[in-house]
Amino acid sequence: MVETTRRREIEEVASSLFHRHGYSGTSVRDIARALDIQGASLYAHVASKQDVLWSIVDRTATRFENAAAAATTYTTVPPSPTNTLAALVKAHVGIVTDDVQRASVFVHEWRSLSPERRADVARRRDEYEGRFRSVIARGGEDGSFAAGDPVAAASYILTALNGLVAWYRPDGRLSPAEISDAYVLLSLRSVGAGSRQRHEVPA
């Protein structure tokens, strides 16, 4: 499908409405009204309401994936567990603060996707969370982090990061950079990094 300007506008207002009222709580007419067109006219641009949700979720999932891949691959030297986890957290917070509405829809509304698409997203989320799990496990093994269940720790950290969509406001007290720094610190400390930084592998 061609990427028209109108299509982008539709996804933008839909993100805002889905964020505030949820997918089920937003009607096709609600989206149309925000664009000053008739409800039926929306179908000149999109195949279905579900397709709009899918575009938002898929695009945002890809953003998270690319940012995490970059953080894992091109992390600052040395590529220690501490530095990699810090880069992953920073990347995640960056995507969220860059577009809270789309991020919020991705986090909360993927349940409203059709079964096949939901399964696809579930798989990709697990793969994404796997990056966190494996770096935490690696840090536990080499002494960078304190011992502990990497699965529980990864879930804990990721849901804390995702919770940002519920309270982040672009005009809030803390800037994206301040939040990012605070969240990196909280995440690193939660797995016991810092107390043993001296064990870190020399460059």
Partner DNA sequence: CCTACCGATCGGTAGG
Interface residues with a copy of itself (CB under 8 A) are: 20-25, 108, 111-112, 146, 148-149, 151-153, 155-160, 162-164, 166-167, 173-174, 178-179, 182-183, 185-187, 189-192, 194-195
Residue 43 in tokens: 């179908």
Q: Which stretch binds DNA (CB under 7 A): 29-37, 87-95, 121-129, 141-149?
A: 29-37
Which of 78, 61, 75, 181 has its CA nearest to residue 128? 61
Angle, in degrees to the nearest 10, between helices 100-109 and 49-73 = 110
Closest approach, Cβ 2 to a copy of itself, in A, equals 31
Closest approach, Cβ 37 to DNA, in A, equals 3
Q: Which of 38, 66, 73, 159 binds DNA (CB under 7 A)?
A: 38
Total interface residues for DNA by CB under 7 A: 19
Closest approach, Cβ 24 to DNA, in A, equals 8
Q: Which of 8, 20, 21, 39 binds DNA (CB under 7 A)?
A: 39
- DSSP class per residue in 93-148: HHHHHH-HHHHHHHHHHGGGS-HHHHHHHHHHHHHHHHHHHHHHHHHHHHTSS---
Residue 162 makes contact with DNA by CB under 7 A: no
User: b/e for 116-128, b at 16 or more Cβ within 10 A?
Assistant: ebeebbeebbeeb
| Residue corresponding to tokens 């920073």 | 90
Residue 166's binding partner out of a copy of itself, DNA, none, with CB under 5 to 8 Å set by partner kind: a copy of itself
Closest approach, Cβ 174 to DNA, in A, equals 35
Phi/psi at 196 (5° precision): -135, 35
Which of 87, 60, 85 has its CA nearest to residue 74? 87
Q: Which of 45, 90, 92, 131 binds DNA (CB under 7 A)?
A: 45
Closest approach, Cβ 201 to a copy of itself, in A, equals 21
